[in-house]
Amino acid sequence: MKNILNKKIIVNNLLSAFGAFLCISLLSFLHFSKYGDVWLIPPFGASMVLVMAVHDSPLAEPKNIFLGHTLSALSGVFIFSLMGSSFLSLGVAVGLAVFVMATFDSIHPPAGANPIIAILGGKSLLFVLMPVALGSIVIILFALFYNKLLGREYP
């Protein structure tokens, strides 16, 4: 109960929430803009939890965000191109994503959803570039700037 009432913790949590709001709003603005394409995927919301609320976690490292999202999306696109969309292809794609992220030492749990999006949406290689790779870069740059502005150690 002490932690809930601790003013410093409350302020830090509010700043984390505000950072998540700002970054997702930016990606949403780009997503819905006249010149935008697809800039937003649901796993980015979970990535924001990591880079804002537990920014000192290895799972929030820029390398893990970029490679985790990109490699897992690529896994989904690859398996979709080989197997199409089925219960089996979804399982294989997520399993492959876990293997690839672990092999490249780039574990980022939110990225585990990317193969599911790729297969259920019938995505092509363009999905890996946009929104996944470019959106990941926006998140990383925002997290670097925002956390530094707040005096937080990140990465």
In a domain, 143, yes or no: yes
| Crossing angle of the two packed helices 62-83 and 134-149, in degrees rounded to 10 | 160
* Spatial contact of 132 and 68, defined as CB atoms under 8 Å apart: no
In a domain, 154, yes or no: no
How far apart are the C-alpha atoms of 154 and 12, rounded to whole Å? 15
In a domain, 99, yes or no: yes
Residue 61 has pLDDT above 80, yes or no: yes
pTM greater than 0.85 (yes/no): yes
Q: In whole numbers, what is the pLDDT of the chain averaged over residues?
A: 95
69-80 pLDDT, tens digit per residue, is: 999 999 999 999
In a domain, 32, yes or no: yes
89-109 pLDDT, tens digit per residue, is: 999 999 999 999 999 999 999
Number of separate domains in the chain: 1
> pLDDT grade, residue 39 (50/70/90)?
confident
Q: How far apart are the first and last CA of the chain?
A: 30
In a domain, 155, yes or no: no
Residue 153 has pLDDT above 70, yes or no: yes
Q: Which domain, by its residues, includes 50?
A: 2-149
Contacts of 80 (CB under 8 A, 6+ apart): 89, 93, 118, 119, 122, 123
